[in-house]
Chain A
Amino acid sequence: EPEVTQTPSHQVTQMGQEVILRCVPISNHLYFYWYRQILGQKVEFLVSFYNNEISEKSEIFDDQFSVERPDGSNFTLKIRSTKLEDSAMYFCASSLQGPTFYGYTFGSGTRLTVV
């Protein structure tokens, strides 16, 4: 069964550093997403991306965050200057046509620890 692949599985970074989280969505999917889950809390929507542009973003997705699909297969989330409160599990997801018929496929997540 096709998978969404996220790398790395765990990243430790120093406060103030830039970090890039990488995702390879399922190849024929058209919609891509990032979600965040702070430890012990609910999963929160960050951003959705379609046709090479952001289609929706949440209040969490401020100027420190950016997304990119640099080469037609990868989908990245960049945090420019990490803060302690950015420590969380970040999930990438993709879907074929929004959730209408096929739902979302989530990756296994990247645990980001900011020290």
Chain B
Amino acid sequence: AQKVTQAQTEISVVEKEDVTLDCVYETRDTTYYLFWYKQPPSGELVFLIRRNSFDEQNEISGRYSWNFQKSTSSFNFTITASQVVDSAVYFCALSRLNSGYALNFGKGTSLLVTP
């Protein structure tokens, strides 16, 4: 069975602080995809990143970076120099590569960035 755990329910930081959102996953599959989505207060799901299980390279996109470590089954997300606009719920998700391609979400981490 697949499982995604985001142990941090809520995080509050002051603007310009760095913040790391943790994601730990469980799967028996050898090939899978991991995702991060942002859900701002308006409610839509905004795609941030997709990473396949064979690609353990870390990725940086502006103030965002992701650390994928298969050895610890973790796919953590760091926001550098956080801004108020980063306030949102962030979901980590895992996809099976079978016929249904269902995406299994974690419970999300609510990030509040205050001025």
Contact of A103 with B45 in the complex, beta carbons under 8 Å: no
Binds B, one of A19-27, A48-56, A62-70, A71-79: A48-56
User: Measured between C-beta atoms, what is the minimum distance from B53 to chain A in Å?
Assistant: 12
Complex interface: chain A residues within 8 A of B44 (CB): 106-109
| Additional 20 contacts, C-beta under 8 A, given A55-B101, A93-B103, A108-B43 | A33-B103, A41-B107, A42-B91, A42-B105, A42-B108, A43-B105, A45-B103, A45-B105, A48-B102, A56-B99, A56-B102, A95-B101, A98-B95, A98-B97, A99-B35, A99-B101, A100-B97, A103-B33, A106-B45, A109-B43
Q: Which of B66-99 contact A (CB under 8 A)?
A: 91, 93, 95, 97-99
Total number of A residues with any Cβ neighbor in B under 8 Å? 29
What residues on B are CB-neighbors of A42 within 8 Å? 91, 105-108
Given contacts A43-B105, A44-B105, A99-B50, contact A56 B98 (CB under 8 A): yes
Other-chain contact of B47, A55, A100, A106 (Cβ < 8 Å): A106
CA–CA, A100 and B54, complex, Å = 12
| Interface range on chain B (Cβ under 8 Å from partner) | 20 to 34
